[in-house]
Amino acid sequence: MFFDNVIYRGYERLLTGEIRKHRIPRHIAVIMDGNRRYADRLGIVRNLGHTYGARTTEWFLDWCWELGVKQATIYAFSTENFSRPKPERAKIFEIIAKKLDELADDPRTHERRMKVSAIGETHLLPAHLRNAIRRVEDATCNYDGIHLNIAVAYGGQREILDAVQDMARKVRAGKLRADEIDESVVSRHLYTNGVADSDVDLIIRTGGDIRTSNFLPWQANGSECAAYFCAPFWPEFRKIDFLRAIRVYQMREHEQKQSALIRTANMLAACGYAEMGDVISHLRGVTRHRHPGQSR
Ligand code: IPE
Ligand code: IPE
Ligand code: MG
């Protein structure tokens, strides 16, 4: 156990060092899945899975802060989750409200100037949770250090529909012209409105399922964000999993840059710059052998 820990810490330091040399994603979104399966595996009551999951969320925010991530969006409760049994819903809402209260009082929130916003159909939530949301939003509304969006009672299609209806009302009232509606106008009508540049760079899903469950469909596709699906359940998600997710983002960025360069070189070669053949072979070699974080 002791040696496992030593090796783990060493690997964590190594990965952190490698990752810091490359671009850190500005906006990370996470589908925190697997709380109940984690509890089932341990043979404990399922609600404890949600409690342990909330602890991971707190660590996740520390990791984002340490690496300089500017915005984190966490999927805490989907509109589909309203179909879960009432006692489970009540427990989840209780945990979220408690965590929001703690966030409002936590000195780290204020040192980091963390702005907290809830996104979703919050009017569907019980009053005590709506109050907790209001308290933390009010306490942090002037901050601009790191932005935390908590997706609660959130559904991606609903978010787009609400935006469409809102814009349609404005068009009817003569406040918006239909031909003015472009990507930026739609973005401004989403729940994430007010957040500078809400496009997601990296989406992480724990718990082994490879789907995005109606999470941020607009914000994740605008930038064609990287996706990292991993097996650990959310309560057991560790910092090295987080770092690996960032490495996947960096590798993808690197590949995109390289393929853009290769395309340009191909084009120049096609235009008669003969020496471009050598450039292309060289670039292909770089792409194959030098991913960020790989040992050289
Ligand atoms: C994610 O874990 C938390 C919420 C959806 C609220 P789950 O509760 O979905 O746990 P699993 O995926 O069933 O194990
Ligand atoms: C995704 O988990 C939503 C959240 C993490 C809040 P679910 O367990 O609800 O999603 P599905 O049902 O597997 O898509
Ligand atoms: Mg689940």
CATH topology of domain 12-249: Undecaprenyl pyrophosphate synthetase (3.40.1180)
Q: How far is CA 118 from CA 232, 252, 253, 270, in A?
A: 26, 30, 29, 52
Q: Of 30, 31, 33, 80, which is best to mutate to test ligand 1, by the most ligand atoms within 8 angstroms of its C-beta?
A: 33
| Nearest 10 degrees: Cα torsion 207, 211, 215, 217 | 160
The number of the ligand nearest the C-alpha atom of 215 reads 2
What are the structural domain ranges in the chain? Answer: 12-249
Catalytic residue among 40, 81, 131, 166: 81
In the prediction, which pLDDT does 295 show? 41
Which residue's alpha carbon is at the smallest distance from atom 5 of ligand 1? Answer: 77
Asked whether 36 lines ligand 1 (CB < 6 A), one says yes
**Alpha helices in the chain, H assignment, sequence order:** 2-20, 35-42, 46-67, 86-105, 107-111, 127-140, 156-172, 183-188, 217-222, 239-270, 276-289
Q: Which residue type is seen at 211?
A: R
Strand order in the sheet with 146-154: 114-119, 146-154, 71-78, 27-31, 202-205, 226-229
Placement of tokens 């040399």 in the chain = 21
Mark whether 33 is an active-site residue: yes
Calculate how far, in angstroms, residue 144's C-alpha sits from the geometric centre of ligand 3. Answer: 32
* Two structure tokens written together for 99: 């965590």
Calculate how far, in angstroms, residue 8's C-alpha sits from the geometric centre of ligand 1. Answer: 27
Mark whether 182 is an active-site residue: no
In the prediction, which pLDDT does 217 show? 93
The number of the ligand nearest the C-alpha atom of 88 reads 1
Asked whether 73 lines ligand 1 (CB < 6 A), one says no
Per-residue pLDDT of the chain (296 residues; tens, 9 = 90+): 777 888 889 999 999 999 999 999 999 999 999 999 999 999 999 999 999 999 999 999 999 999 999 999 999 999 999 999 999 999 999 999 999 999 999 999 999 999 999 999 999 999 999 999 999 999 999 999 999 999 999 999 999 999 999 999 999 999 999 999 999 899 999 998 756 577 899 999 999 999 999 999 999 887 679 999 999 999 999 999 999 999 999 998 888 777 778 778 777 777 777 666 666 676 666 555 555 544 43
Whole-number Å distance between alpha carbons of 251 and 257:
10
Asked whether 84 lines ligand 1 (CB < 6 A), one says no
In the prediction, which pLDDT does 277 show? 65
In the prediction, which pLDDT does 296 show? 35
In the prediction, which pLDDT does 195 show? 62
Closest ligand 2 atom to residue 154 Cα is 6
Ramachandran angles phi, psi of 71, nearest 5° = -145, 135
In the prediction, which pLDDT does 196 show? 55
In the prediction, which pLDDT does 291 show? 53
Q: How far is CA 111 from CA 60, 104, 114, 137, 138, in A?
A: 17, 12, 8, 16, 16
In the prediction, which pLDDT does 249 show? 96
